[in-house]
Structure 1
């Protein structure tokens, strides 16, 4: 298993070392293993996890609080998936899948709320653009009159 230092992780994820440390500090990402000297060592799974966090922040525009919720939900889903795989009894498997469905619905609701906010901003900008375009047309009409 390959281990990576924070410089490599920062470069691959497009973050600063300070940001990675901060994400660890506030619990957005788990603390990695460390050498005896305290150097952080990241696994490929750690890097993939951090990339998912970065994607949620950049693409969805999540705040740190929303990121925290998103990550907690993703962690819960992974745990539920593991529990499901360990279960063989049909009734228990149905319960585990139902729990996973609820967790997925929570995550989808978080994304839906963000999309609604984005859509509201988009509508405001489109209305403003329409007013500007109407103003241009009105002024061009006056210009032609003179």
Structure 2
């Protein structure tokens, strides 16, 4: 389907029109085509990309800089995927797969770093929670001998 106007993309992605234009300006997504009057015309690929960005931001708590790196790797992987599908030679297919491995490893490393930070943050909050529970239990324990 498509093309989509920015209002439709905004509704589909859950982002404001201003944020969509900002992400475009940052290079997080390719610029859309435009009408003769200059109105942006988006594709389903734009909407899908914006949803990926929102997921990276919301689920992973990623900064825009981290999202840019993540998106760049994803784009490169997509290019390799297209080339791989068009290649018949087994040796060439293997070379293409070998080129993708470091990119996927980079994405996994980024995710592992996020998970480690989240795990440490969870540990810290859990320790604070335990201290509060212990303090509350001690407050409510009746004094013996009084």
Give the TM-score of the pair, scaled to structure 1: 0.94
1:16 corresponds to: 16
| Aligned counterparts of 1:134 and 1:2: Cα–Cα separation in 2 | 58
| Aligned counterparts of 1:52 and 1:34: Cα–Cα separation in 2 | 23
Deviates more, 1:99-108 or 1:54-63: 99-108
1:139 corresponds to: 139
2:67 aligned with 1:67, yes or no? Answer: yes
Deviates more, 1:123-132 or 1:83-92: 83-92
| Aligned counterparts of 2:30 and 2:143: Cα–Cα separation in 1 | 66
| Aligned counterparts of 2:96 and 2:131: Cα–Cα separation in 1 | 53
Question: Aligned with 1:60: secondary structure?
Answer: coil
Using the TM superposition, give the Cα deviation of residue 117 of structure 1 relative to its aligned residue in structure 2, in angstroms: 0.7
Using the TM superposition, give the Cα deviation of residue 130 of structure 1 relative to its aligned residue in structure 2, in angstroms: 0.5
1:106 corresponds to: 106
The gaps in structure 2 that reach 5 residues or longer are none
2:6 aligned with 1:6, yes or no? Answer: yes
Give the TM-score of the pair, scaled to structure 2: 0.94
| Aligned counterparts of 1:89 and 1:100: Cα–Cα separation in 2 | 17
Moved beyond 3 Å, runs of 4+: 143-146
2:31 corresponds to: 31
Using the TM superposition, give the Cα deviation of residue 144 of structure 1 relative to its aligned residue in structure 2, in angstroms: 4.5
| Aligned counterparts of 1:42 and 1:138: Cα–Cα separation in 2 | 61
